[in-house]
Each structure stands twice: as C-alpha cells, then as structure tokens.
Structure 1
Amino acid sequence: MLYSLGRDKSLKYDEALLRYRDKVNKSFELYLFNLLYLIRVAQFSIQDAESRRAKLRPSEEDKKFEAKLATNPLILSLSKNEGLYRLFKQYKTESFLDEDHIRSFYNEFSKKEEYIQYVYNDNQTDKEHEEMLLSLYRQLCANELFLELNDDTFAQWEDDESLIIGSIKKTLKALPADMSFYEAYKPNAEATVDFGELLLRKVYHEDEELLKVIEPTLRNWDVERVAIIDMILIKMALVELMTFKSIPSKVTLNEFVEIAKNYSTDKSKDFINGILDRLLKQLVDEGKISKEGRGLISD
C-alpha cells in the first residue's frame, strides 16, 4: 500500500486504507481455500475405496483398502467442524475448487509409496496421521496446477504464499482441532487496526519527520539513491521501533531484514540491517525508544 501511495499520486490515503483492509480479508479467504482443498483431496480417498470395492474382481489390496486419509481423527476434526463449513459457505470457498484437479492430484498422490504404506499399515498414531497430512499438503504446494489456481483466484497469492503455507502447516500440527480453531487465523482488530492501520497511517503522515531521523544514518548515501522499497521498509521499521512498546527491538530488526530478502534487491538485506542497527543505537541514545518489559530493547 505504501509503495502504491508513493508511486501513484492520484491514489488517496483513504482508498489505500480500504485496499489494505480488503487484502487482510482476502488473506483469510486464501487460508480457507487452501484448507478446504486439502480436505477435499483427503476425502477423495472415500471415492477411491468405493471404486475399488465396486470392481468385478477386486484384488486383495482393493478389499483391504481403507480411506484413512478421510477417516482419521485429525482430518475428521476439520471435515466435521460445522463452524468451519459455515465459513466455507460464507466465503463461497467451494466455488473456487477444481474438482478435476482434485481427482487427478489424489490419483497421483495415491501412487506414492509413503501413502501406500500408510493405507495398509494398521494402528497408526495421531503423529503418523499428522505426518501424512503434512506430506499431502507439501506435495500439493509443489504441484504447478495448484499454485496456478491459487495465483489465478487470489491476486495476493505471491505476497501471501509463505504466510498461508505456514498457517496451514501450523493448523495441521495442532490437530485434532477444537471447534473454533479458525478464530486464530481470522482478521482481528488488534492486528489490522491497532497495528497494521496505525503503522500505515504513521508512515504515510509522518514521512518528512521520519526522513529527518533516517538521513543522518545514511552516511555517504543520497536519500534519492536509496531504493524505494528499502526506504519504505526502513520507515516502517522506524515507526515500529518507536511506537509499539511491546515488540522487542531485535524482533523488529530481524523481521524487516527478512522482509527485505523477499521484496527488495539482493544487497538490500545487508543495507537495511546496517541502517536499522545505527538507527536503533541513535534512538536509544536519544531516549526515543521506550519498551514495556525487561530487556525488550536489546532482546
């Protein structure tokens, strides 16, 4: 949003704020889409079991086949969660699914040796069910058609990919899920308003003041020569350092160095790390950073 505001002079702040709010909501929709897709691939094992038993001459393997991918207690805690399915209905998540791809992907996955062993081995533990679901999702995320579907359906997939994948893995590792587990992934006022919107507002409206703080740390660098994305990240980090008392300074520095790896040039990581280190020292010396809790400035 800040990049768009800087590049598009016709874009008003209020419009950018609305885009930010929409993006936050779309990220949750993307999470739901990935979760439902995983559930539906797992549930296809039921059709697989029925098809095997419907054969004129089913083999012993066909007779012994069980739809464990769909009937294990971990996936059932998702597929039988009424609140979750109300969300799928609310966001029309099912309309984005590609049933042909779900079938073809399951058929491909069902040939994997790890899946075959999982199906025919008895008495699996919850940990083994978890490992199989994680493997299923990892291979789904390595599937080109699935990635294209995410990208074609949700414009922010490229930005949110690592966040969504991490959230789904976190969800799977916490199974069996409680009835309202999804609340932890829904947009909330603290994250979107108290943090996100406040950060956006302060960086936009206090641009000149932030530049005055940053310029002395640039040393031989001309402000005009600093990459636009790098300057935005430095300003955001500066606001976070001075505004959010509960966030440790080192967490802020590490966070924005990681962001630089994904969104800026190869050299940006080291450049931003150096500038933020100098800024932190300067602000601490000037008494402009106040953190709540012992050790939050340096830890």
Structure 2
Amino acid sequence: MINRELIRIKIVQLTYAYYQNGNKLMDSAEKELLFSLSKAYDLYNYLLELIVAITQEERKRVEVATQRALREGGEMPSQKFAYNKFAVQLEENKQLNEFAETQKQSWANSVEFVRGLCNQIEQSQAYIEYMSDTDSSYEADRELWRKLYRQLIQENEDLDQLLEEQSLYWNDDKEVVDTFVLKTIKRFEPENKAKQELLPEYKDIEDKDFAVKLFRATILNADLYQRYMSETSRNWDFSRLAYMDVVIMQIAIAEMLTFPNIPVSVTINEYVELAKLYSTPKSGSYINGMLDAIARYLMSTGKLLKTIEDRPQRRQAPRRPATPRLNRAQQALEDGEVLRTRYAEQAEQAVQEQQEEKTTDAE
C-alpha cells in the first residue's frame, strides 16, 4: 500500500525535521521514517474500520426501529443497508480484525462522529437510491460503499480534523491513503469471504529499501548535493532560496544519483509537485528549472549516467480546495514555523508511541 509517492512525501517532511530539530542521529531518524510510514498503513486500516463502525451503528438503529414497529404495529424497517453484503464481508475480514486487536484507537471512542456520519449517509442521494432499488446483489452493495466513501468520507473536513487530533502523522497522509481504501473496496470479491486480502503494507521489499536508501543518501551526501545546487544556480540567487526548496532539491538529486532505473523526468516531476504543496507559491517553477539544470550538469560531468526525456505534465487527480485554515498554514510555511512545530511534535509523539508499544509488548 505504501507507494513511492507517499515515501517521497515522508522523506521531505522528515528531512526538513532532521535539520530543523537538531536531530543528527541517523539511525534514530531512519527509525522515525519507517515508523511514520507504518502510521500511514494504520490509517488505511482505520478508515476501513470506519465502514464497519458505520454499519454497526446502522444495525443499532434498525434494531430500535424494529422494536418500535413491533410495539406500535408500524412498518418494519429495511435491513438492506445494515446488512450490506460488502460491509458484512469487511466486518468479518480476518486481517482487519487482527489489526483491530493490536490497536488502542477505535471508532468506539468517536461515537458522536460516527452517528453524525450515519445521518449524512441516510440523507444522501446515493443512499436513498440504493434503498429504493430492488437490486440486492453484492456488486450493488459494494458500489454503494464506493460512492459513499468518495462523496462523504474522502473529502470530509470534520473527519480530517478528528484524524489530525488522533495522530499528527495522518493530516498529510489521508489524501493518498483514501485512494488505497477505494482500491480495496473495488478489489473485494464475495467468494473470498473473510480471507479477502487487504493491501500489504509495502508492495514489495524494493519499496521499503527505496525509502531507506533515499533517506540515507539525502542526509549523508547533503554537502555534496548542495554544492551541485550552488554550482548550477548562477542565474538564481541561491542564498535567498527557501530552505524547504533546498531540502526538496537535495532529495531529488539523491534520487537521480541513487536509483538508475528511475527516469530523470519522473524524478523532476515528482519533486516539482511536492514543492507546490510544501513550499512557496513560486517554488514549483523555480525547482523545475533548477533540477533540469542540475541534471544536465551532472550528465555533462559524467556523474549521472541518464538522459533527460521529454517531460509531459504529470496528470493528477484534482486536490480539494484549500480551506482558510490551510491558507494560513501555507503562509506560515514560508518562514518554516509550521513544519518546525509539526514535525517536532511528530518526533515527540513517535517516541511516546514507541515507548508505549514496548510497554505493551513487555506486559
């Protein structure tokens, strides 16, 4: 599940934190990177559990309505959504239940949010059409949850805020993790029953190695990579460059030089997009030009044995509009305060959570 897009995001965050927080212990920083990535996988499972929590809340409502109908002689409520075939299969999923048994966080601690989301679902057009449709197939049940997730969970500011309160890591992870939850819903097949496989934490060992190698190369060769930036920045004022831009380009250079199978065009496009998200409004175009110049310099001096292909614009799903809260955060980001604070808090939280895990294991 953890793909290279998410890995690059984490390395940008943690490389910045590595320098800003004064943490110069490479082994500790590497453990923090892997822990941060594992939290993204926790979020993936936690969001799948939200579907189960909603289903269980709906069953309680159906039970109350059934008792009322029996008592008053009214119409019996439909159980179609409460026993949605896809949701029942997910509820019984062996992997998801094993995950839940190891976690302290549970949607039982956020009952009011779950109830509010149930209310939104019951008022949605997708739910109304589903309940009135005579199609009772597994495919229809699965498709309903795909629609509900995209419409009411994927872009839900209340949920975003709740998740951020539960883990500082999750604020930046959800947009990527949402795509994997939707992919998982689509992959479910009824014949697999409780043994339906969820997405693995890493697609393969190569992606985990990619994370570690890229992070280590970025930190250990920092002086060299920054010299490359300085030598190719004659048309720019390198000394006035935003520090986040330096971090992003440093990681991009590390990727160019460390991974021969990744095309230069892919690397440049990926980090230009990250600059647009994490740095100043002008950073994307600046880093685009700088990385292109750096790549050509490295090739001309024999340090980079690649070629620069034509670079079509990377196609991306539209991102949600920035809220006023995010706009203020982006403004503060220009002087580094947001990331300095957030990733310092993340580091402290990581230490605390790791200590708690050790205590639990000892017990």
Query: What TM-score do the two structures reach when normalised by structure 1?
Result: 0.86
* Percent identity for Structure 1 against Structure 2: 25
Aligned to 1:6: 19
Mapping for residues 70-109 of structure 1, pairs under 5 Å? 70-72=83-85, 74-94=86-106, 97-109=109-121
Extract unaligned runs of 5+ from structure 2: 1-13, 312-363
Q: Which amino acid aligns with 2:206?
A: E
Shift of 1:202: 1.0
Shift of 1:118: 0.2
Q: Which amino acid aligns with 1:249?
A: V
Aligned to 2:207: 191
Aligned to 2:198: 182
Quick check: 167-176 or 178-187, which moved more? 178-187
1:257 partnered with 2:267: no
Aligned to 2:342: none
- Given that 2:50 and 2:107 are in contact with CA atoms closer than 8 Å, whether structure 1 keeps it comes out as no
3-state DSSP of counterpart to 1:91 = coil
Equivalent of 1:152, from 165, 168, 172? Answer: 165
Extract unaligned runs of 5+ from structure 1: none
Shift of 1:233: 0.8
- Given that 1:42 and 1:69 are in contact with CA atoms closer than 8 Å, whether structure 2 keeps it comes out as yes
Mapping for residues 1-299 of structure 1, pairs under 5 Å? 1-55=14-68, 56-57=71-72, 59-60=74-75, 62-63=76-77, 65-68=78-81, 70-72=83-85, 74-94=86-106, 97-124=109-136, 128-138=140-150, 139-176=152-189, 179=195, 181-186=197-202, 189-192=205-208, 194-290=209-305
Q: Equivalents in 1 of 2:234, 2:38: separation in Å? A: 41
- Given that 1:247 and 1:296 are in contact with CA atoms closer than 8 Å, whether structure 2 keeps it comes out as no
Larger RCO (CA within 8 A; separation ≥ 6): 2
Structure 1 stretches of 4+ with a deviation exceeding 6 A read: none
Structure 1 189/174 Cα, relative in aligned 2: closer, same or farther at 3 Å?
A: same
3-state DSSP of counterpart to 2:123 = coil
Q: Equivalents in 1 of 2:308, 2:290: separation in Å? A: 20
RMSD of aligned alpha carbons: 2.6
Corresponding residue pairs, total: 292
Structure 1 119/104 Cα, relative in aligned 2: closer, same or farther at 3 Å?
A: same
Deviations 1:217-257 (A, max 9, x none): 22232332111111111111111112112222222122111
3-state DSSP of counterpart to 2:200 = helix
Q: Equivalents in 1 of 2:211, 2:163: separation in Å? A: 24
Query: What TM-score do the two structures reach when normalised by structure 2?
Result: 0.72
Q: Which amino acid aligns with 2:197?
A: F
